[in-house]
């Protein structure tokens, strides 16, 4: 497989930046939407470890989805059209 040229490298960087931006936007939206959950956990007296676990699960799920999408687009992009 030939090495990617400067245009291919630029395209890969652009796709990576877009994926990171989309992931950050999704995480910001998730932060806003979890405020009611935070109030509920406060009222129930949940420990702070549970807060961290919820944040970790949401972050991991978001990163897994965006990483899979980025990798699949990155692998399919250089294929010739049929």
pLDDT recorded at residue 38: 76
Q: Is there a domain that residue 59 lies in? A: yes
| Domain limits for position 47 | 42-70
Report residues of the chain scoring pLDDT below 50.
Answer: none
The neighbour count for residue 15, using CB atoms within 10 Å, is: 15
| pLDDT value, residue 51 | 80
**What is the pLDDT, as a whole number, of residue 68?**
87
In a domain, 65, yes or no: yes
Q: How far apart are CA 41 and CA 25, in angstroms?
A: 24
Measured distance CA(42)–CA(51) in Å, rounded:
10
Q: What is the 8-class DSSP label of residue 79?
A: S
pTM score of the predicted model: 0.53
Per-residue confidence (pLDDT) for residue 35, from 0 to 100: 76
Report how many domains make up the chain.
Answer: 1
pLDDT at 1: 58
Residue 22 lies in a domain: no
């Amino acid at each position: 497989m030939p090495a990617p040229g400067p245009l291919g490298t630029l395209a890969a960087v652009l796709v990576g930046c877009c994926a990171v931006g989309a992931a950050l936007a999704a995480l910001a939206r998730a932060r806003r939407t979890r405020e009611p959950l935070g109030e509920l956990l406060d009222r129930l007296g949940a420990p702070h470890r549970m807060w961290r676990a919820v944040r970790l699960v949401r972050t991991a799920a978001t990163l897994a989805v965006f990483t899979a999408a980025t990798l699949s687009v990155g692998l399919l992009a250089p294929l010739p059209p049929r």
